[in-house]
Chains A and B, each alone.
Chain A
Amino acid sequence: MSGSIPVSSSIEPQPPAAAPRPARSESPGARAWRRFRRNRLGFVSLVLFAGMVILSLFAEVLANDRPLLVRFNGDFYFPMVNDYPEQVFGGDFRTPADYLDPFIKDRITKDGNWAIYAPIPYGSRTLNYFAKEPNPSAPNRDNLLGTDERGRDLLAQLIYGFRVSVLFGLALTVVGVALGVLTGAVQGYFGGKTDLAFQRFIEIWGSMPELYLLIIFSAVFAPSVALLLILLSLFGWMGLSDYVRAEFLRNRQMDYVRAARALGVGNGRIMWKHILPNSMTPVVTFLPFRMSAAILALTSLDFLGLGVPPGTPSLGELLSQGKTNLDAWWISISTFAVLVVTLLLLTFMGDALRDALDPRKADA
């Protein structure tokens, strides 16, 4: 390891005896990152996953039923961002143009006009009224992975569904971690009666039947991603809170905390600056696993029909379609593959992260 010296060297360097050392010091975080990068499987997983997420963030460019750019009769049009009536392109109606309509397609691509379509010319909700096969249709030239039972392109569904899942997982993880760290920190740092009261509250809160509450709430309120996020967050922080509490309980009696208190450092700063950075190991280690659990939770709820509002692209809903249309193998197999790859990448990242942060593992 670059900057380290034996923990207690028997001869302490005195001012004249300068020990040659590299100039840059490595922070514990930088060390963990270096160790993480050395784990090839974990690092490749991170790169792949990040690539997939970034690609899915540009899903509108990848899969869209509207052309990205149209040149028609000497003018530029941006159907991706603006609505244009069909009349603009020589149609009969004032309704928005359907760019999959062979007539419109013909108008905007002939006679010196041109249009740039997305690589996948279907959006997440696009119903292709001009399909040549009954729904669900098997993979063909028009729909690379086939269509679902309503005639929507499966590949577009998967891209948008992956994005929803990952963003939802990310949001749920962030909210859960923030709540978990906050509550854990308060319990662990103040201890005593605060801790006692909070622990009892967690016991009561934790014994509420989460799934039934979800069912009841999805019946009472209009289902939405935000509602799901709130409901799942309300129960998702408890597991992490216990770990953070234990870390804070341990770290608050370390001498460096005592020294900070003796210096007159305030409670908030001690928690934030002294204890929290030293208590983050379980939090960081669990991040990928929490995220895969969140994705799985959303998928399961969608599968049961308790999740996102109908029409939203979702992996769980696709799985449920796959179950109803067992003969349409392309639905279940491709959705299943996306889900497995996502969860597997997250698990590999989690394993690598755990090893990188494990103080007992040698550096080599």
Chain B
Amino acid sequence: MTAPLLQVQGLRVAFGGKEVVHGVDFTIAPREKLALVGESGSGKTVTALSLLGLVQNAQVTGSARFAGERDGAERDLLALPERDLMAVRGREIAMIFQEPMTALNPLYTVGDQIAEVLQLKEGLNARQAWQAAVDALAACGIPDPERRAAVYPHQLSGGQRQRAMIAMALAGRPRLLLADEPTTALDVTLRGQILDLLGEVQQHNGMAILLITHDLNLVRKFADRVAVMENGHLVEQGSVAEVFANPQHSYTRKLIDSRPVRDVVEAAAAQAPVMRASGVEVSYPVPLPGFRGWFRKGRFVAVRNAAFSIDPGRTLGVVGESGSGKSTLALAALGLLPHAGDLDVAGTRWGPDATKNKAIRRVVQVVFQDPFSSLSPRMTVEEIVGEGLLVHEPALALADRRERVVRALAEVGLGEEQFPGLLQRYPHEFSGGQRQRLAIARALIVQPQLLVLDEPTSALDVTIQKQVLRLLQRLQREKGLSYLLITHDVDVIRAMAHDVVVMKDGDILEAGTVAQVMDAPRQDYTRTLVAAAS
């Protein structure tokens, strides 16, 4: 084995006396792809950032010996003064981030930003640097690089922005690239392309990559070795094949085992559908450019001619990438957006009349993606969960209402025994998964027939995602609920849905039972989607 490129020993990071990384050891060999895996809060990002001295107000101890290429000398990154560290950043070790929109400066063109790196690190003059920037963009697979170098970050698409950021990181020809969730913010079909690009440049430049991710699929496809982090401890590391085939630590097993499991029953058919849609169209007004925009507004059609129906006890999965109109469809189904076409809920149509709609609102309820913004931070659990009763059964006495709230909370697995004084607590005391349970309880209390689930698990860690999905499956079995499940995650669709609708750019591309669509997709787009997820 060759001498390691980076050898980290006993790395500890603490914020204000509170330690978040408790002594981490790992090495990266030259040209190696190491994945650092863990859930949110496990300390994986902090570990990587502290190597470059990029964590503010933190006490970092331990050593990180890095074999620099330029002088061949080994240096301890953690002991380097800021001046020397600046020379290492970008030139020896570069970093790419999750969200390219915030990592690129919106006020400079992409080419300028890359050229700046080259001027600083390579000492090129302006003309050379610009040419090198164009070459770098070309090398990262951006078509028409001369023109793209002169545009601003917001004018690029998400995938191209990520490519531009990779080009910028590679401009200094680093020996080690720290990639922090480089594909998480991207659509599934783009993820594969970006990974391929990273693999290519890694081969071509002969650099090592430290990939930080929570996505095990990514690790399996991309990395040579994997290190698993839990709560600031490195619990297991080894080659990808070994760890996945024979995980030693219970947490690793739990992570690998966190893929959602299908556990749904086929509902008895031949009943009137809970929701039926035909020819549903939703559009937003958009400003028109120029003089015309003074008098008229343009129209952006977010959902075009959507038709589906949901039977009692069944789940309709709507799958698509961001911008496909699936969340707009969910809001229309909830009667929160004006729409054209027929959209019936249990035989009644959404109308402009709020009092008439109120009866339908009891039938359709919703669980949103982000459990942190979907619960008002200034209301107690009792107020949040009990609100539906205030609206739909205002005559209910206080004690009865409280009892119903307790029952609804028990149904989602929250009770006094784990949380003394549960009813009077505020949402900030609960973790993401527990908040999502609260959101489900709020929806269930009015005894709806249909739940609209808008990416119900996307904001959760994988192990918690599995628990929430299992809860939803149990509720469906016990109560015969129907779900309209909006997601970008094919694994979730496979685990939950009876029927599937694939959306792209506002159109329904393909519809059918889950077996038809997932196992024998008719459209190319569906095939890419399914392939990207496996």
In the complex, the answer to whether A7 meets B432 with C-beta atoms within 8 Å is yes
A 272-314 contacts with B by CB, 8 A = 273-274, 277-278
In the complex, the answer to whether A256 meets B231 with C-beta atoms within 8 Å is no
Q: Which one of B39, B42, B387 has the greatest number of beta carbons of chain A within 10 Å?
A: B387
Give complex CA distance A7, B40 in Å. Answer: 9
Give complex CA distance A297, B379 in Å. Answer: 38
Write out the residue numbers on chain B whose beta carbons fall within 8 Å of the beta carbon of A256.
373-376
In the complex, the answer to whether B41 meets A9 with C-beta atoms within 8 Å is yes
Give complex CA distance A10, B466 in Å. Answer: 13
Write out the residue numbers on chain B whose beta carbons fall within 8 Å of the beta carbon of A10.
38-42, 230-231, 461, 463
Closest to A279 in B: B378
In the complex, the answer to whether A277 meets B378 with C-beta atoms within 8 Å is yes
Interface-lining segment among A24-32, A219-227, A323-331, A342-350: A24-32
In the complex, the answer to whether B361 meets A263 with C-beta atoms within 8 Å is yes
Give complex CA distance A29, B428 in Å. Answer: 13
Given A18-B417, A258-B368, A259-B442: A8 in contact with B334 (beta carbons within 8 A): no
Closest to B459 in A: A8
In the complex, the answer to whether B358 meets A23 with C-beta atoms within 8 Å is no
The answer, yes or no, to whether B420 is at the interface (CB within 8 Å) is: yes
Closest to B358 in A: A264
Q: Which one of A25, A28, A254, A273 has the greatest number of beta carbons of chain B within 10 Å?
A: A25
Give complex CA distance A234, B387 in Å. Answer: 37
In the complex, the answer to whether A5 meets B421 with C-beta atoms within 8 Å is no
Closest to B364 in A: A262
> DSSP class of B's interface residues: helix, strand, loop or mixed?
loop
Give complex CA distance A3, B381 in Å. Answer: 14
In the complex, the answer to whether B431 meets A259 with C-beta atoms within 8 Å is no
Q: How far is the CB of A48 from chain B (nearest CB, A)?
A: 30
The answer, yes or no, to whether A44 is at the interface (CB within 8 Å) is: no
Given A8-B431, A258-B336: A277 in contact with B426 (beta carbons within 8 A): no
Give complex CA distance A311, B520 in Å. Answer: 92
In the complex, the answer to whether B374 meets A259 with C-beta atoms within 8 Å is yes
Closest to B446 in A: A263
Write out the residue numbers on chain A whose beta carbons fall within 8 Å of the beta carbon of B16.
362, 364
Contact with A along B362-398 (1 / 0, CB 8 A): 1011101110111111111001000110111000000
> DSSP class of A's interface residues: helix, strand, loop or mixed?
loop
Q: How far is the CB of B389 from chain A (nearest CB, A)?
A: 10
Give complex CA distance A27, B423 in Å. Answer: 12
The answer, yes or no, to whether B464 is at the interface (CB within 8 Å) is: yes
B 438-467 contacts with A by CB, 8 A = 439, 442-443, 446, 452, 460-461, 463-464, 467
Write out the residue numbers on chain B whose beta carbons fall within 8 Å of the beta carbon of A260.
387
Give the A-B pair count, Cβ closer than 8 A: 139
The answer, yes or no, to whether A6 is at the interface (CB within 8 Å) is: yes
Q: How far is the CB of A271 from chain B (nearest CB, A)?
A: 12
Write out the residue numbers on chain A whose beta carbons fall within 8 Å of the beta carbon of B442.
259, 263
Q: How many B residues, CB 8 Å from partner?
A: 65
Write out the residue numbers on chain B whose beta carbons fall within 8 Å of the beta carbon of A254.
373-374
The answer, yes or no, to whether B413 is at the interface (CB within 8 Å) is: yes
Contact with A along B9-42 (1 / 0, CB 8 A): 0000000100000000000000000000011111
Write out the residue numbers on chain A whose beta carbons fall within 8 Å of the beta carbon of B361.
262-264
The answer, yes or no, to whether B424 is at the interface (CB within 8 Å) is: yes
Please tell me which one of the listed residues B231, B377, B424 contacts residue A28 in the complex, with CB atoms under 8 A apart: B377
Please tell me which one of the listed residues B358, B364, B370, B430 contacts residue A255 in the complex, with CB atoms under 8 A apart: B370
The answer, yes or no, to whether A265 is at the interface (CB within 8 Å) is: yes
Write out the residue numbers on chain B whose beta carbons fall within 8 Å of the beta carbon of A255.
368-370, 373-374
In the complex, the answer to whether A15 meets B370 with C-beta atoms within 8 Å is no
Write out the residue numbers on chain B whose beta carbons fall within 8 Å of the beta carbon of A5.
429-431
The answer, yes or no, to whether A14 is at the interface (CB within 8 Å) is: yes
In the complex, the answer to whether A4 meets B429 with C-beta atoms within 8 Å is yes
Please tell me which one of the listed residues B368, B372, B421 contacts residue A25 in the complex, with CB atoms under 8 A apart: B421
Write out the residue numbers on chain B whose beta carbons fall within 8 Å of the beta carbon of A9.
41, 431
Write out the residue numbers on chain A whose beta carbons fall within 8 Å of the beta carbon of B452.
262
The answer, yes or no, to whether B516 is at the interface (CB within 8 Å) is: no
The answer, yes or no, to whether B480 is at the interface (CB within 8 Å) is: no
The answer, yes or no, to whether B284 is at the interface (CB within 8 Å) is: no
The answer, yes or no, to whether A13 is at the interface (CB within 8 Å) is: yes
Write out the residue numbers on chain B whose beta carbons fall within 8 Å of the beta carbon of A277.
376, 378-379
Closest to B423 in A: A25
Write out the residue numbers on chain B whose beta carbons fall within 8 Å of the beta carbon of A23.
420-421
Closest to A18 in B: B418
The answer, yes or no, to whether A81 is at the interface (CB within 8 Å) is: no
The answer, yes or no, to whether B433 is at the interface (CB within 8 Å) is: yes
The answer, yes or no, to whether B184 is at the interface (CB within 8 Å) is: no
The chain B residues found within 8 Å of chain A, CB to CB, are 16, 38-42, 230-231, 331, 334-336, 354, 357-358, 361-362, 364-366, 368-370, 372-380, 383, 387-388, 390-392, 413, 415, 417-421, 424-426, 428-434, 439, 442-443, 446, 452, 460-461, 463-464, 467
In the A-B complex, the 9 residue pairs with the smallest Cβ-Cβ separation, listed nearest first, are A255-B374, A264-B361, A277-B378, A25-B425, A255-B368, A8-B432, A256-B376, A23-B420, A264-B358
Query: Apart from A8-B431, A15-B413, what 20 extra A-B contacts exist at CB < 8 Å?
Result: A5-B431, A6-B41, A8-B40, A8-B432, A10-B231, A12-B433, A17-B418, A18-B417, A21-B429, A25-B421, A25-B425, A28-B378, A28-B428, A29-B378, A254-B374, A256-B376, A258-B334, A259-B439, A263-B361, A273-B383
A-B contact pairs, 26 of them (CB 8 A): A7-B431, A8-B460, A10-B40, A10-B230, A10-B231, A10-B463, A12-B464, A12-B467, A14-B467, A15-B417, A17-B418, A23-B420, A24-B424, A255-B373, A255-B374, A256-B375, A259-B374, A262-B366, A262-B452, A263-B392, A263-B442, A264-B357, A264-B391, A266-B391, A273-B379, A277-B376
